[in-house]
Amino acid sequence: MSYRWDMDRAISHILSMPWEDPGFYAGYLSQVYHYVSHSTRMLAAAAAVTESPEYYKRLIAHIREEEGHEKMAAADLKQLGHPIGEELGVTRALWEPQFFKIQRHPEALLGYILALELAAIEMFPNVLPRVKAAHGDRCVTFARVHAEEDPNHVKEALSQIEALDEAGKERAWKNFDQTRALLIPFMDEIRTTAAERSAPRRAKSPSATRAA
């Protein structure tokens, strides 16, 4: 499977977003905060039930690597002058199913990990200079760290998927496809919500008020 080609449409869509708009960028960081807050718990849940010693060791190491990443997004929001926004439904749709999958087949989580890690190394080197130029150097910690993320994370996830039996591979790749497919509506909903919040509210006319 040519996984990089599979991500092209999602990455192109992500890069088309209005990263220079502070409302959109704040909305993105807020949703990142919400779903990344579950990352270490997700990894721990998979570690608790996997029967593979190798997968267990990698999950434990991954927990250490992911610890505190949501705090980066929260700190960037603070520097941007925005509070953490409410979690969107599409954000919950991204992370909530993973706990169901983990209970049944913990190795399926590898597809979710691969999709997000691959998206990170593909998008952030392009997004970082844009958000830095638009919003300053003090509110781009999350983007900077993930722009510099070691591509070995992707290689490790791929090698772990390839080591699975055929049924395990199928479950992991289906989860990859599901996660990748959600990235486009995820970004669209953030953009739509930001636009709605920034749009001026129309004042009701006196006649409309009396009619109400």
- Using the predicted structure, report yes or no on whether residue 20 has a pLDDT greater than 90: yes
Which residue do the tokens 């992370």 mark? 95
Please tell me the distance from the alpha carbon of residue 47 to that of residue 43, in angstroms, as a whole number.
Answer: 6
78-114, pLDDT tens digit by residue? Answer: 999 999 999 999 999 999 999 999 999 999 999 999 9
Residue 80 and residue 138 in contact, taking contact as beta carbons nearer than 8 Å: no
pLDDT at residue 150, rounded to an integer: 65
pTM of the model: 0.90
At residue 29 the predicted structure's pLDDT band, cuts being 50, 70 and 90, is: very high
pLDDT at 4: 55
From the number of C-beta atoms within 10 Å of its C-beta (0-12, 13-18, 19+), residue 79 rates as middle
Q: Which architecture characterizes domain 8-194 according to CATH?
A: Up-down Bundle (1.20)
Q: What CA–CA distance (Å, rounded) separates 141 from 143?
A: 5
Mean pLDDT check: name the lowest of 76-90, 114-128, 149-163, 174-188: 149-163
- For residue 175, CA distances in Å to 18, 155, 160 come to 28, 17, 14
HSE at residue 202, side-chain half, CA atoms within 13 A, is 5
